[in-house]
Structure formats: structure tokens, C-alpha cells
């Protein structure tokens, strides 16, 4: 393991329309796809210019124990985030002891690695990844690749305690002022370490996101020009849910793909100080 425990290291799309997702994301981000075949439920590896981005799968082909497909009525299209761990089994026990529930138990993914999926104590789904042959996605920062990860939580304090105990987070209040000039404080947003070294954040959504929407992890993909990318999204059958908005990190918008999976796009070249 070369990536620090708690670092976002993999992401995958669970979708109700795998072929439609390939068309949408391939056109939007220029991704290439490699089907792993029937033995792995046609799990499809995503790459961009030769570097790994993540994976995608039709959740009709997936199951909690690798044998019987789960009822698709219980699932919805979504992007899932995997955090690097040194030992999946030990970290899974630690997660349970700190209030998490197990969604998918620890299992080997061929020679690639070992993983498990949990719901954290605030209700957000997150996966654990112990790398073997596959460390994770390529950190390039280029358009079409992940550039940030974020937990949106209804229980900020519980989330900070949990991720510190299980994934070795060192929550630090974000110091960068946002668009309106307001400074983040310790009750609003924290990164998983000093801002210059951070790879993800925890955002307190209590009070401005309905409690019924729960807590969730989300991913930001880089684009070269946010407004242009939004127009492409809409032309491809996706939806603009929020934005575009300016920020010190780039111009940002919230997107839903044609099957309903949500993600962020960020144009770092349009950052506004």
C-alpha cells in the first residue's frame, strides 16, 4: 500500500443503464472502457488517455455475496467512493465498533485487491479498498479525471469522529474563503488534513439540505470550461441540478447523468480568488 489510509483511491458508477452510461461519459469526458467479462459481472474499467479513472457496472449484475443479483428496485444509480486502507478486515471491524453497518462484507476482487462497503453512522455509503495489483485511479488533475471528493453529512461532528477513528482523518477547518467572502469555520467544512495536503472534505449540510436526503459522498471531475461542459451534459441527456458557481477552486456545477447518478464538474482554470 502506497496511498495513505483514508485517501480516496477508487470510484465506481453503479447504474441501471451501462451502455447508456458509456455513451454519456465517453462523449462528455473522452473516457475509454474495458469490459472485465462475465466472471466479474461485466464490471467495466474506465480510463482516460491511458490512466485509470474508475469503474462502472450495471447493478442488475451485482449482488451482496457475488451470486444472486440484488433487487434493482432497492438500488439507484450512484457514484461510490473507495477509501484506501491498510487492512480491510481490521478497518471493517473498527468501522462496526464505531457505529457503521456493513452493506457488502469484505471480499477479494481477483488479484486487484480486497474491498468492503459500509454505511457510516450518518448514513453515507463508502467503500474500503486494500490494494494489491490495482492501487487505484491515476492522480493527474486533467480534464475527465477526479479532482476532489466530499462527504455531505447531516451529522458533522459524528462524521468527523468516525472518519478520524476508522480512516485516520485529521479534520482541519477549511481556511479558504468562498465566493461570498465568508470564512469557513470549524462547524461548516473540514478537510481530511491540512488544506495543502488534503484529498477530501467533510461538509455540514444540516439546515440547508433536507434531512430526508440523508448523507452521501460525492466526486468532482475536472473539465476545461464549466459552462461548455454543462451544455454538453444537457445535449447528452443529463441534467444541471445546481450552478454553475464560481469558487476559489474553479467554476463548479452539480450534474445528474441520464440514469440519475449525480456528480460535480469543476473547471480549475476558472478559479476566482
Q: Are 162 and 120 a contacting pair, CB within 8 Å?
A: yes
Tell me if residue 91 falls in helix, strand or coil.
helix
The domain 8-131 having CATH identifier 3.30.1180.20: the answer here is no
Residue 2: predicted pLDDT: 77
Residue 82 grid cell: 473507495
End-to-end CA distance of the chain: 36
Residue 187: predicted pLDDT: 72
Residue 75: predicted pLDDT: 66
Residue 163: predicted pLDDT: 98
Q: Are 156 and 171 a contacting pair, CB within 8 Å?
A: no
Residue 186: predicted pLDDT: 55
Digit-coded pLDDT (tens) for 160-190: 999 999 999 999 998 765 554 444 455 789 9
Residues of the chain with pLDDT under 70: 1, 61-75, 176-186
Residue 50: predicted pLDDT: 92
21 Rama class: left (phi>0) / alpha (psi -120 to 50) / beta? alpha
DSSP single-letter state for residue 12: E
Residue 62: predicted pLDDT: 59
What's CA 160's distance to the chain center, in Å?
17
Give residues with Cβ within 8 angstroms of 243, minimum separation 6. 226, 230, 251, 252, 253, 254
Structural domain boundaries of the chain?
A: 8-131
Q: Are 193 and 149 a contacting pair, CB within 8 Å?
A: no
Helical ranges in 80-217 per DSSP H: 88-97, 156-167
CA distance 272 to 136: 31
Amino acid at each position: 500500500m502506497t496511498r495513505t489510509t483514508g485517501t480516496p483511491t477508487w470510484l465506481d458508477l453503479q447504474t441501471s443503464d451501462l451502455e447508456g452510461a458509456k455513451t454519456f461519459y465517453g462523449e462528455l469526458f473522452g473516457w475509454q472502457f474495458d469490459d472485465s467479462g462475465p466472471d466479474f459481472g461485466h464490471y467495466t474499467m474506465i480510463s482516460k488517455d491511458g490512466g485509470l479513472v474508475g469503474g462502472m457496472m450495471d447493478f442488475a449484475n451485482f449482488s451482496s455475496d457475488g451470486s444472486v443479483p440484488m433487487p434493482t428496485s432497492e438500488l439507484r444509480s450512484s457514484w461510490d467512493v473507495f477509501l484506501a486502507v491498510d487492512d480491510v478486515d481490521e478497518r471493517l471491524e473498527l468501522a462496526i465498533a464505531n457505529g457503521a453497518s456493513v452493506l457488502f462484507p469484505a471480499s477479494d476482487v481477483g488479484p486487484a485487491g480486497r474491498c468492503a462497503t459500509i454505511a457510516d453512522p450518518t448514513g453515507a455509503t463508502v467503500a474500503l479498498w486494500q490494494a494489491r495489483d490495482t492501487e487505484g485511479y491515476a492522480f493527474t488533475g486533467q480534464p475527465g479525471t477526479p479532482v476532489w471528493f466530499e462527504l455531505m453529512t447531516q451529522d458533522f461532528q459524528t462524521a468527523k469522529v468516525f472518519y478520524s477513528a476508522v480512516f485516520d482523518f485529521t479534520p482541519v477547518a477549511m481556511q479558504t474563503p468562498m465566493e461570498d467572502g465568508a470564512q469557513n469555520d470549524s462547524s461548516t467544512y473540514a478537510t481530511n488534513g491540512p488544506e495543502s495536503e488534503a484529498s477530501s472534505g467533510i461538509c455540514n449540510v444540516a439546515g440547508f439540505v433536507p434531512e430526508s436526503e440523508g448523507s452521501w459522498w460525492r466526486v468532482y471531475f475536472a473539465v476545461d470550461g464549466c459552462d461548455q461542459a454543462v451544455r454538453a451534459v444537457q445535449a447528452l441527456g443529463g441534467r444541471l441540478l445546481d450552478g454553475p458557481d464560481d469558487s476559489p477552486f474553479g467554476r463548479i456545477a452539480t450534474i445528474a447523468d441520464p440514469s440519475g447518478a449525480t456528480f460535480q464538474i469543476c473547471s480549475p482554470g476558472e478559479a476566482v480568488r
